[in-house]
Structure 1
Amino acid sequence: MLQVRNSKWKLDRKMRAMWLQLGLWMLLNEAAHARLLKFTNVKCLELPTNAGFCRYDYCRLKVVRRNQVELSLKVSLLQLPITNLTTRLQCFQRSDGYRPFVYNILFDFCKLMAARKYRLSFERFVFDTIREHSNFNHSCPWTENYMMVDKFALDFTKVNMPVPTGVYRLDFTFYAYGIARTLTQVFFEKLD
């Protein structure tokens, strides 16, 4: 009788351990896939005030696998060196059209790239995220004949943005010598 109870106890313990492992696996698996950031579109525009200053060679998204999309773009710079480069970074959320959402920042791109200890800010966060997939690794004067971002994919583990679920657009307007030259619009979606 005692032997039957012990074997039943061992079986119950094994079953509980198995169910606990299964439950933990399901919970962790769900947590790993619960949040998702992915690009949905990109538009690259040379503004009318560009006047032969630069040209987009390519601007595209590539689907690598389900829910992973990579952004690649290359801008040829035709008037070098560039010593004065400013950027306006705007964030929009889609809600009956795209409406301004939290960020509208104008900053000196040259200072941002030069300062390793630039103040903690949204623009620093965005460009540090992009940096390893781009040639944005030095300050002005900009002497390379192109600017590029190559195979950049949004990864929620690295880009943990405190924004609600929805569709967003980031506008990057680049100014050289105070004149707006290009506009890059990056559309992405956050899912929970």
Structure 2
Amino acid sequence: MCWKIVRWHIVIILYIGALSTDGIFRNSLVLANHISFNNIQCQSNDEKYFQFSQCDLKLQKRGYNELNIYGKLLKTADNITVKAELFRKTNGYTPFIYKFTLDFCDLKRFPQRQPVMSMFFKYLERNSNLNHTCPYDHDIILKNFVMPDDVLKLLPYPKGDYMVQLGFAAYNQWIISVKAFVKVAD
């Protein structure tokens, strides 16, 4: 499963690269080098399990917003499922390349099995307390997170507006939904 995802990602990168070498398509498919957050929406589906006390963006400087999330985990979670989807804005948001559902505890124990998601959570770990394996029995904090621009060197994307939708479940009950709206630009 993991190799299939990586293989398709490589095929798509090569396809975009082949199109962008032609002068006609170069301007429309220029790969971007900056990610900025536009909006964030956090929702708790079970207030008895998890409550958000902060979910916002803070302007750091022009074009750079810091993401801050603080949530109170009211019960211990050691069977966590993550659903991640990437959408691109065309006429509304349409699915784009990625859609994962995976065991978060397994991801933290064996990151090599899911290299793309592992890389994404590695960036989050720098500014959060999600830097250990399960169980989680404490508040979840993501403070002053700015998506580093070097992520686009590893996973290049065309310029545009995107939505990253993350869902978290504990014991097969969907508890948290987070939507991050980002702009990928020069």
Regarding TM over 0.5, the answer is yes
- Find 1:102's aligned residue among 97, 100, 107: 97
Match of 1:63 in 2: 59
1:135 to 129, 133, 140: 129
- The equivalent of 2:166 in structure 1 is 172
Per the TM alignment, residue 114 of structure 1 is displaced from its structure 2 partner at its CA by 2.2
The 3-state SS of whatever aligns with 2:130 is: coil
Please identify, of 98-107 and 50-59, the stretch whose mean Cα deviation from structure 2 is larger.
50-59
Q: TM-score, normalised by structure 1?
A: 0.76
Q: CA deviation at 1:159?
A: 4.5
Letter aligned with residue 84 of structure 1: N
2:87 aligns with 92
Shift of 1:158: 4.2
Equivalent residues of 2:107, 2:113 under 8 A apart: no
Unaligned 5+ residue runs, structure 2? 1-31
Contact 1:174 1:181 in 2 (8 A): yes
SS of the residue 2:119 aligns to: helix
Counterpart selection for 1:149 from 142, 148, 151: 142
- Determine the structure 2 residue equivalent to 1:6: none
- 1:39 maps to which residue? 37
Q: Is the 8 A contact 2:33 2:152 kept in 1?
A: no
Per-residue CA deviations over 1:48-98 (Å, capped at 9, x if unaligned) read: xx251110010000011111110010110111x212111001000001100
Mapped partners of 1:54, 1:143: distance in 2? 11
Number of residue-to-residue matches in the alignment: 154
> Are the aligned partners of 1:113 and 1:136 in contact in 2 as well (CA < 8 Å)?
no
Tell me how large the CA RMSD over aligned residues is. 1.5
Check whether the contact 2:78–2:134 (CA below 8 A) recurs between aligned residues: yes
Q: Distance in 2 between matches of 1:130 and 1:159?
A: 15
Q: Which is higher, the Rg of structure 1 or of structure 2?
A: 1
Separation (CA, whole Å) in 2 of partners of 1:191 and 1:104: 23
Distance 2:69 2:47 in 1: 20
Deviation of 1:38 after TM superposition, in Å, equals: 0.5
Q: Residue deviations 1:5-31, cap 9 Å, x none?
A: xxxxxxxxxxxxxxxxxxxxxxxxxxx
Q: TM-score, normalised by structure 2?
A: 0.78
CA-to-partner distance for each residue in 1:82-138, whole Å, 9 max, x for gaps? Answer: 1211100100000110000011100111111223x4235221121011111110111
The letter of the residue matching 1:37 is I
